[in-house]
Amino acid sequence: MVNDTETAHQAWDETWKSENGRAIWLDPEEDVRDLVGKLKAADTVKALDLGCGVGRHAVYLASQGFETYALDGSETGIEHARQQTEKAGLEIDFRVGMMTDLPFDDAMFDYVLAFNVIYHGDPKTVGKAISEIRRILKAGGTYQGTMLSKRNDHFGKGEEIEKDTFIYDHDGTGDEAHPHFYCNARELVELFDGFELQKLLDVDHSHRRPEHWHWHLVAERLA
C-alpha cells in the first residue's frame, strides 16, 4: 500500500530511464564500503538494500559475499539492477515494493541499508519506514542510512505539506517535486527509538549540490 506522500519512486523511475540520469548513481558510497568491511569480519550474512535504485550497493554487497536482497518502488531501476547483476555473474533477490510495507519476514536481516531513501515522505511515512526496518532486522542487526538535515539549503523552501516536510522544485524541471522530510539530531534520535546509534554525522553532499546536508547514521537494533 502506497501512502499519499510516498511518491518519490515515480520521479526516480523517470530518472533511471536515461543513461545521464543513472550516471551519478552507479558507484557505492565510501561510507558503505567502509562499514561492509567491518560487517564481513563480524560474519554478517543476509543484507537488504532498501531503495536500491539501479543497484550500485546491492551489486557491491553481493560481490562481497553477502546473501543480498534489494527492493525499490521503481521497476525501471530494478530492471537495470538485474541487468548489472547478470553481467557481474552474481545473485540478488530483487523485489518491487514500498518502504512502508516490506515483503520480508520479521528479524530476517543482519544488515539493512537505505542510502538517500527513507526521508522521501511526511513524518508518518518516515516513521512507518523506520518501523518496518526495525521489524525485519535481527536483534543486534545493523542499520545504515541517511536522513535530510535541517542544515540543508532546501529546508524551509517550497510548500510545507506536513511538519518539516517540503515539496520544492529546486531547478524548475519537476524532477524532485515530491516530499522531503528534514530533522535535527534530537528528532532523528527520537525517530530511531528501538535502535542504539553507533555513528551520527552531518555530512555536506556538496559534490551534488551546495549546502546539501545529510545525516549519515549507523545504528544497532535493540532486542
Question: What pLDDT was estimated at residue 2?
Answer: 56
Q: Is the dihedral of CA 56, 61, 63, 67 positive or negative?
A: negative
pLDDT in tens, 176-191: 578 999 999 999 999 9
Question: What pLDDT was estimated at residue 170?
Answer: 62
Question: What pLDDT was estimated at residue 211?
Answer: 87
CA atoms within 13 A on the CB side of 147: 29
Question: What pLDDT was estimated at residue 171?
Answer: 59
Fold (topology level) of 8-221: Rossmann fold (3.40.50)
- Domain range annotation of the chain: 8-221
Among 131, 148, 12, 146, CA closest to 75 = 12
Question: What pLDDT was estimated at residue 210?
Answer: 80
Question: What pLDDT was estimated at residue 175?
Answer: 47
Question: What pLDDT was estimated at residue 174?
Answer: 46
What separation in angstroms does the CA of 151 have from each of 67, 166, 186, 194, 203?
36, 14, 14, 25, 10
Residue ranges for the chain with pLDDT beneath 70: 1-3, 170-176
pLDDT in tens, 89-136: 999 999 999 999 999 999 999 999 999 999 999 999 999 999 999 999
Q: How is residue 209 written as a grid cell?
A: 549540490
Q: How is residue 174 written as a grid cell?
A: 519537476
Q: Is the dihedral of CA 127, 132, 137, 139 positive or negative?
A: positive
Which residues, at least 6 apart from 36, have a Cβ–Cβ distance to it below 8 Å? Answer: 60, 61, 64, 66
